[in-house]
């Protein structure tokens, strides 16, 4: 198995033009694939599973920016707190409290995104707009985390109108809180990143387009 270099190069050109940051989603792919992109200068990688991330972190160069994008259980925060660069998937207040606690233990400030629930599918995680607003107004309780913006996953659907509607909802929530220093809007994956960017995304999380299909998860 190896990565799709053509797709990666086209993608990075397209994203550079639009000033969108690429998080290469390397979950379930071997460290050798990550190293291949690393050698081309890529530094931002996204992972979904704590143990897998910790294993890869130990085996790969220290200057990689690791993004945690999967559902995060509070009892596992301690394993990634020493090094994680951005946690995209804060979906409860209690998770944020735990991240703050572990950040403090490690004498760090950890950057996070709040995950907003926008999809029509019930299986997805995320905060409602009310919960998000509540966390934002309580942000002073978490001095060791810095909320940098919002992450969301749209429905898995070919319906463009539905996707646009969902993405623009995220953008709206993002704009509402921009005055407190939010800069990151993380939406868009292999199947919907173009639409996501048209609707305001400035950070996309792309896996299969670069690394190939993952098979069954």
Ligand X SMILES: *Cc1c(COP(=O)(O)O)cnc(C)c1O
- Count CB-CB contacts under 10 A for residue 74: 15
DSSP label of 202: S
Among 69, 113, 150, 163, binds ligand X (CB under 6 A): 69
Q: Which one of residues 65, 106, 155, 208 is an interface residue with ligand X (CB under 6 A)? A: 208
- Tell me if 164 sits within 8 A of 195, measured CB to CB: yes
The residues, ordered by sequence, that sit 6+ positions from 192 with a Cβ below 8 Å of its Cβ are 154, 163, 167
Which residues, 116 to 145, sit near ligand X by CB under 6 A? none
Q: Which of 20, 189, 196, 197 binds ligand X (CB under 6 A)?
A: 189
Smallest distance, Å, CB 45 to ligand X? Answer: 12
Q: Which residue is nearest to ligand X (CB)?
A: 207
x/- mask, ligand X, residues 90-119, rule CB under 6 A, reads ------------------------------
Mind giving me the DSSP string for 27-60? TTS-HHHHHHHHHTT--EEEES-HHHHHHHHHHS
Q: Which residues bind ligand X (CB under 6 A)?
A: 25, 27, 48, 69-70, 153, 189-191, 205-209
């Amino acid at each position: 198995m190896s990565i799709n270099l053509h797709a990666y190069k086209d993608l990075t050109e397209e994203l550079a033009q639009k000033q969108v940051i690429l998080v290469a989603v390397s979950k379930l792919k071997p460290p050798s694939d990550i190293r291949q992109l690393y050698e081309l200068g890529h530094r931002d990688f996204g992972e979904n599973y704590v143990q897998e991330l910790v294993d890869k972190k130990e085996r790969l160069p220290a200057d990689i920016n690791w993004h945690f994008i999967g559902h995060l259980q509070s009892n596992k925060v301690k394993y990634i707190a020493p090094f994680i660069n951005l946690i995209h998937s804060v979906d409860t207040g209690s998770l944020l409290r735990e991240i703050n606690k572990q950040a403090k233990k490690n004498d760090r400030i950890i950057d996070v995104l709040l995950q907003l629930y926008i999809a029509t599918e019930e299986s997805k995680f995320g905060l409602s707009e009310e919960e998000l607003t509540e966390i934002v107004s309580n942000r002073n309780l978490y001095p060791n985390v810095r909320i940098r913006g919002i992450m969301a996953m749209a429905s898995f659907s070919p319906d463009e109108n539905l996707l646009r509607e969902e993405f623009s909802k995220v953008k709206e929530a993002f704009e509402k809180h921009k005055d407190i220093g939010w800069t990151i809007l993380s939406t868009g994956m292999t199947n919907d990143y173009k639409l996501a960017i048209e609707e305001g995304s400035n950070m996309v999380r792309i896996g299969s387009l670069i690394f190939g299909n993952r098979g069954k998860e």
